[in-house]
């Protein structure tokens, strides 16, 4: 059985994972992110508690969503453990430890189909 990496939790503890996820959703929504989905992955994965998945229509919108999410988290002293991808690639991942944020362009979101891959996770929030 895999053990949860408790060291990751020590990076920050100013917000509970569900609070952080909701702040991220609010920030993405303010930038008109589309198809926002919050998945509770605690029962199916040991590396995080939540996935936030959202889409933007243009590179500029993806960048705006990423900046808004980063700013919202940093206001509470939460810094990403890592970032993968660039808006130009159509997929950016922000790793906040217990909350993993995926910001997609529509074509990349359909191609990678994280919702299908993680279909056993529990949807908590779904915003069109």
**CATH number reported for the structural domain that contains residue 40 in this entry:** 3.30.460.10
pLDDT in tens, 26-84: 999 999 999 999 999 999 999 999 999 999 999 999 999 999 999 999 998 999 999 99
pLDDT in tens, 103-117: 999 999 999 999 999
Give 128's pLDDT tier (boundaries 50, 70, 90).
confident
Q: What's the domain range around 70?
A: 14-120
pLDDT in tens, 35-50: 999 999 999 999 999 9
In a domain, 127, yes or no: no
Count CA atoms closer than 13 A to 110's CA, side-chain side.
5
Show the CA angle centred on residue 26, arms to residues 114 and 50, nearest 5°.
35
Residue 15's pLDDT is what? 84
How many domains does the structure of the chain reveal? 1
Q: Show the tokens assigned to 125.
A: 């929030």
Residue from 98, 101, 122 nearest 53 by CA? 101
């Amino acid at each position: 059985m895999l053990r949860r990496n408790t060291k990751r939790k020590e990076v920050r503890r100013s917000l509970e994972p569900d609070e952080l996820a909701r702040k991220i959703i609010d920030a993405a929504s303010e930038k008109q992110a589309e198809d926002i989905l919050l998945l509770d992955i605690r029962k199916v994965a040991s590396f995080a508690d939540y996935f936030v998945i959202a889409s933007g229509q243009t590179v500029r919108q993806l960048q705006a969503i990423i900046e808004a999410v980063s700013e919202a988290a940093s206001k509470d002293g939460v810094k990403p453990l890592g970032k993968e991808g660039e808006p130009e690639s159509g997929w950016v991942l922000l790793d906040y430890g217990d909350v993993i944020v995926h910001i997609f362009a529509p074509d990349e979101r359909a191609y990678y189909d994280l919702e299908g891959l993680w279909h056993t996770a529990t949807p908590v929030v779904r915003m069109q």
